[in-house]
Amino acid sequence: MVNAGDRKRSILDFIRGAGGEPSRIWIAGAAICLVIIALHSCASIEAGQVGVRINNVTGNVDVVTQPGLAMRLPFGLQDVYILDVTPQTFHLRGAANKSALEVRELDVRASDGSSFEFNDTTLLFRALPDSADATLRDSGLEHAYYEWMLPYTRSILRDEFGRESTISVSNPASFGLAEGRAKTRLNKLLGEHGLEVTSIVTPRPRFSTDYENLIESRNQTENQLAVIDSEIQRAKTERDRKLAEVERDQNKTMQTKRAELENTLATSVTVQTQTHREVDTYKIEKVANGEAALSAAKGKSTELKGQLEADYQAKKAAIDAFKNQPVERVMEKLGERLKGITIEIQPFRNDGSPQRVQLENVGGAK
């Protein structure tokens, strides 16, 4: 068995290093130093935080926005400062300042000379992650940037709400415009220090008791006006609905009448067209018959004219031939013409050559 002295000697040899080996104490000390240096060379950045790494040799500033471990050079060559960028709440309420984030309530003098107060005005703000170096430079470490809120917030809110009168500040539309103007001005000024106001929540302004009663009375009157306007709009809607129904019915009637009239018109046009067609047919037929009759009459006239001319020439020839006949032949022809006619001759003188002969038609002979 190994005695206690041998065991002690073995432990001392291991620590001091036997056989030319380095001392275990130096190795352990070096490991501890490395661990300490490593711990001082890292900075932990949580969610909602950013790190600002400053090189103390060159003065270079680097903003680390990614959560995790941020490396830095040891022995004071680099420093990493952690800045909280989570949303913060700033209150203006109460009668006195309690902390950097809770200060005395906001009182405002309106443009018409009256005064009013806000019981609890709340602002949501934060440090901008990308501008953390400016926030650290202008404000300092940790939450020192809270100090920028009080002077800027109180002065700008007083200024913007002070532009309104007691009447306009009670109007939600004007009230909202004042909040928007205040937020814009705050972000313009605080943005230079790496801060941003995300929201302004202001309660209804508080006036004196008499004025509050007047406001309540006015609100009731406005509510009554709103009810009257609603009734007017409802009546107008009902009127428009009835007019639409009447117009729809009238349009339906007009469409029916129009369809009937168009049908009647189409029938009349058809009848008119048919009548025109029949008239044209009749006209064509009559004109054709008239032209045919005219042509036939002209032919007949020409024929009769030729026949008459022939009869005339024949009569003329007969007359000419008769002229050359002797008296006896003439008397013979005359007798043939006067056949059946009684001629009574009464001589007025005994003249073998009578100069005048008077004929009388007796018995209807021709």
- pLDDT at position 289: 86
Q: How far is CA 156 from CA 94, 104, 134, 149, 209, in A?
A: 19, 15, 22, 11, 27
DSSP 304-323: HHHHHHHHHHHHHHHHHHHH
**Inter-helix orientation angle 24-40/4-16, to 10°:** 50
- pLDDT at position 2: 47
* The domain made up of 88-207 is a member of CATH 1.10.357.10: no
77-119 pLDDT per residue, tens: 777 788 888 999 999 988 888 888 899 988 888 887 778 888 8
| Assessment of whether the complete model's pTM goes beyond 0.75 | no
How large a percentage of the chain has pLDDT more than 70?
Answer: 75
147-194 pLDDT per residue, tens: 888 899 999 988 888 888 877 777 777 778 888 899 999 999 999 988
Q: Are 181 and 192 within 8 A, CB to CB? A: no
- pLDDT at position 15: 53
Q: Please give the residue that has the higher pLDDT: either 219 or 40.
A: 219
For the chain, the domains span: 10-40, 88-207
239-283 pLDDT per residue, tens: 999 999 898 888 888 888 988 999 999 899 999 889 888 888 888
Going by the DSSP 8-state scheme, the letter that residue 229 receives in this structure is: H
Please say if the pLDDT value at position 53 is more than 90. no
What are the structure tokens assigned to 331, written together? 């008397």
Mapped onto helix, strand or coil, the DSSP state of residue 18 is coil
Going by the DSSP 8-state scheme, the letter that residue 144 receives in this structure is: G
Dihedral sign, Cα of residue 134, residue 140, residue 146, residue 149: negative
β-bridge partners, 88 = 125
**Inter-helix orientation angle 172-190/149-162, to 10°:** 150
